[in-house]
Structure 1
Amino acid sequence: MFAEGTENMQYARHWIEYLVFRGFFCLLQTLRIETCEWIANHVGWLFTKLIPFRTRVIDDNLRQAFPTWSSERRRQTARAMWEHLFLMLCEVAHASRKIHHTNWRDFISFPGDSRRLLAQNLLDPRPTTVVSGHFGNFEVASYVIGLLGFPTLALVRPLDNPFINRFITRFRAAHGQFILPRKGSATKVAAALEAGLNLALLCDQWAGRKGSRVEFFGRLTSCHKAIAVFPLSNQSPLVVSYFKRDNRAMKFECAFFAGADPLQGGEHLQSSLSLTQWYNHQLEDIIRLKPEQYWWLHRRWKNKCWIPPKRKAA
């Protein structure tokens, strides 16, 4: 009886959260993108001055990543990061209504030879692993990559609220991206790779004590081993890319930043650990392009990754 009452309360809470979220999302869709930019300027002030949120975490991450920066520059970057996060949400709200098959060129540019290199790797008969981080607008990137005709498989951690999770998943899968939960999907991922489906993964999620320990901005962190194992075991390409805002909201730059192919060799392809360290260094260089577009509130470094996992008794 008590358990049933608890479940009903949880269901009601999730439903109320969903209604609030959808109401806010609909409000963003009614606003002009220029209005969203104006509001973003005030959101940055709100979360750095009036209602400081994760201020210590953000400042510590920035200080460790950019030790030569002054405290004022760190504060400015923190404020710009909050502006970016709000604009990111606004862009997600507007993307499905504004970006279509016929006009995507009005919103997205490819620097240098990126367009050809991305297409070449995504059309490779081998399953390509495309990695990026919590940088730029990776949510709109997942929408656009399907819009351009490149279906991918993404592994995500489901949100706690099932209604919001279903809504976000529909957006991500609108143009053919396949979404699987991060845990318990090994068999389906193996089948997808065997079928030649490309993977799109965020490579900067903390993996706990069992992950690969590598340096990221000079500090040890933990990364999921599978990201490097996929291309090495399948002898297939790994592409490091980014999808960042290009000065204005709803204007994006999509780039092929670096690539690794086991068939071509290289020191960084000697092991899963060396490949993991390599793509983390590439992500560092990407973040330096626009530091304010990275999630510095993201707990990328945790002391627990210094503690080796306990070995089971023989």
Structure 2
Amino acid sequence: MAKARAAYTLRYRLEYYLIRSMLFVMGILPFRQRSALMAWGMSRVVAPLVGYQKRVRDNLDRVWPEMDPAKRDALTLEINRNVGRTICELFSPRDLVSMAQKTAMTGAGLAALEAAQAANRPAIVISGHFGNYDIARARMIAEGFKVGALYRHMNNPIFHDFYLKNISTIGTPLFERGRPGLGQMVKHLKGGGTLAALIDVRANNGIPLPFCGHMALTATSMAELALRYDAVLIPFYGTRLPNGEGFAIDLEDPIPHSDPETMTQALNLSLEARVLQNPEQWFWIHNRWKGADQEQ
């Protein structure tokens, strides 16, 4: 056991110092060049090396089995480029906040969010791994909304502190998924705060719901919270513009309260529409359909 723990600790340290060294070297570059380099490195080096490229192609084949192979390969490249840019933005939090402050928010959901905050009513804003969710979170905070966000503890405990520091720079409060952050999250909602979360993480204890033509295990917890605390439930997206640098932030119409499954499926459909319109901006690296689809 001691040897196994030592091996894990060594691996975690190596991973941490490798990532920190890479980010330090890249940090010397101006943000735009850094972003372009990360896009190139992820699409041309990292994704093929660690298997992301194959995962993306397999998922594209699942959703669009008739897609021309040349088109699929071009789309795979753009997807991994977007992942690289998003990682660069996540670990360049001050640049991200600066971009967010220059980005306008639109959509019917904005008025609903303003009304909820004015009435001290809880709100839950839901997005996916699409474009850059943190751009929209940072912009909402800049506009004075009391936005707290869920985050997942990193597997590498040494890297986790560095990761948490970066996402905290974008905005706080932050609530760790699971028991550690549950009490703080509920207190935040009860106090009329806004909770930001993602709907497209595979939930092993979730229920199978359709997403892009296939069943995907999906957590209904956000809809359950909205019903329990009478929170307005609003889909939102930070969509990357064609130039690869700017964003458009859109808050959609609130999801009507009904039952958790119906509300969660409405969130799935909202994200699905975005993915089908701009597939290069979604995180196809996820095993989104694992465990729910009979084709697995």
Shorter-chain TM-score tier:
0.7 to 0.9
State which of 76, 90, 93 in structure 2 corresponds to 1:92: 90
Note the 1:234-253 alignment, pairs <5 A.
Answer: 234-253=229-248
How many pairs are equivalent?
292
State which of 168, 175, 192 in structure 2 corresponds to 1:196: 192
> Contact 1:136/1:244 (CA < 8 Å) preserved in 2?
yes
Determine the C-alpha separation between the residues in 2 that align with 1:92 and 1:199: 19
Specify every segment of 5 or more residues in structure 2 that has no aligned partner in the other structure, as ranges: none
- TM-score, normalised on structure 1? 0.81
> Contact 2:41/2:84 (CA < 8 Å) preserved in 1?
no
Change (3 A) 1:99 1:303: closer
Matched letter for residue 292 of structure 1: E
State which of 179, 182, 185 in structure 2 corresponds to 1:186: 182
Change (3 A) 1:250 1:117: farther
Change (3 A) 1:99 1:190: closer
Determine the C-alpha separation between the residues in 1 that align with 2:220 and 2:109: 27
- Which residue of the partner structure matches residue 222 of structure 1? 217
Matched letter for residue 243 of structure 1: G
> Contact 1:129/1:201 (CA < 8 Å) preserved in 2?
yes
Q: Which has the larger radius of gyration?
A: 1
- Which residue of the partner structure matches residue 44 of structure 1? 43
Determine the C-alpha separation between the residues in 1 that align with 2:9 and 2:51: 28
- TM-score, normalised on structure 2? 0.86
- 1:279 equivalent to 2:279? Answer no
Residue 27 of structure 2: SS of its match in structure 1?
helix
> Contact 2:232/2:254 (CA < 8 Å) preserved in 1?
yes
- Which residue of the partner structure matches residue 265 of structure 1? none
Note the 1:269-308 alignment, pairs <5 A.
Answer: 269=258, 271-304=259-292
> Contact 2:79/2:280 (CA < 8 Å) preserved in 1?
yes
- Which residue of the partner structure matches residue 15 of structure 1? 13
> Contact 2:210/2:265 (CA < 8 Å) preserved in 1?
yes
Higher mean C-alpha displacement, 216-225 vs 68-77: 68-77
Superimposed CA distance per residue, residues 194-217 of structure 1 (whole angstroms, 9 cap, x where no aligned partner): 222211111011111x31221001
Matched letter for residue 206 of structure 1: R
Matched letter for residue 18 of structure 1: Y
Task: State the superposition RMSD in angstroms.
Answer: 2.7
Superimposed CA distance per residue, residues 99-129 of structure 1 (whole angstroms, 9 cap, x where no aligned partner): 44xx7553x1334666545544555521111
Determine the C-alpha separation between the residues in 2 that align with 1:25 and 1:159: 18
Residue 254 of structure 2: SS of its match in structure 1?
strand
Determine the C-alpha separation between the residues in 1 that align with 2:157 and 2:121: 34
Identity of aligned residues (%): 22
